[in-house]
Structure formats: C-alpha cells, structure tokens
Amino acid sequence: MIEFSLVLLAGVAAGVLNSTGGGGGTFVALPALVAFGLPPVTANAVPRVAVVPGALASAWVYRRELAHVGAAYTKALTAVSVVGGGVSAGLLVLPASSFEVAVPWLLVFATVTLASGRHLSRALSSALGRSVDLS
C-alpha cells in the first residue's frame, strides 16, 4: 500500500507540473516508475500516454488563440515536434540497455532547455522579429 501511495503521489506531482508549468511531469514520473520496478522504456511511455487526453483538450480549447499565432510559427513548431517525436520513437527501437544509457542525457538536455527557456524565447523573438513566449 505504501508503494501504491508513493506512485500515486508521484503521479499527482507530475500532473501538477504538467498542468501548471506546461510540462516537466516526466522529471518526476520517470524516476518514480523506474524506482518502483518498471523498465525504463515502459516508465517513459506511461507519462507520454497519460498526457495525450490533456494535450488534445488543450489544442481544442486554444484553437482560436492558435489561429492568431501565424502559419509560419505553427509550421516551425510542428516540424520540431515531428523531428523530436521521430528521434524519440527511434530510441525506443534500440535495445533497452541503449535506452537506459540515453535517458540521463535526454533528461539533462531537457533540463537545460527548460532552464534556458526565457533566453531561448528572447533569441527566437529576435530572429523572428516578434514576441515569442516559450516559458
């Protein structure tokens, strides 16, 4: 019962991070699921599948606001998302031992990206000539 409660607590914490910060719940969920015995590939997939309903609902709710963003910006974000998803899917085809080696590095990359979000926003805004908020 204690393990179940701890996994539930990690899930709630991950959900709070995803809903308030726009992501980052995997930083809590992945290590918690691995610590409780799930293989890393499965532990990585569980939070991804769990956020799909919220992502679809958010896209639907904000569809009018997204229409004002601009086609070029939307296409750029879509391209980056497709490439990132493709790389992630490619990693899942590798043996589990390769994935286990890659996960810490991917978490470091994601941490640096999240930590430097404001700087990246400013750089992207300068490059595009308009305000971009990635934080």
Q: 54-88, pLDDT tens digit by residue?
A: 778 878 888 887 777 777 777 888 888 899 888 87
What pLDDT does residue 22 have? 65
Angle, CA 77 vertex, CA 70 and CA 98 arms, to 5°: 175
Residue type, 32: A
Q: Which helix (H) or strand (E) holds 15?
A: helix 2-21
String of b and e for 35-45 (b: at least 16 CB within 10 Å)? eeebebeebbe
State the Cα–Cα distance between residues 45 and 29, nearest whole angstrom. 10
DSSP-derived letter for residue 58 is H
Average pLDDT over residues 20-48: 81
- Rounded to whole angstroms, the Cα distance separating 71 from 16 reads 31
Instruction: Specify the pLDDT at position 83.
Output: 92
**Looking at the whole model, is its pTM more than 0.75?**
no
Which segment of 31-35, 60-64, 89-93, 97-101 scores lowest on mean pLDDT?
A: 89-93
Tally Cβ neighbours within 10 Å of residue 73: 14
Give yes or no for a contact between 78 and 86, defined as CB atoms under 8 angstroms apart: no
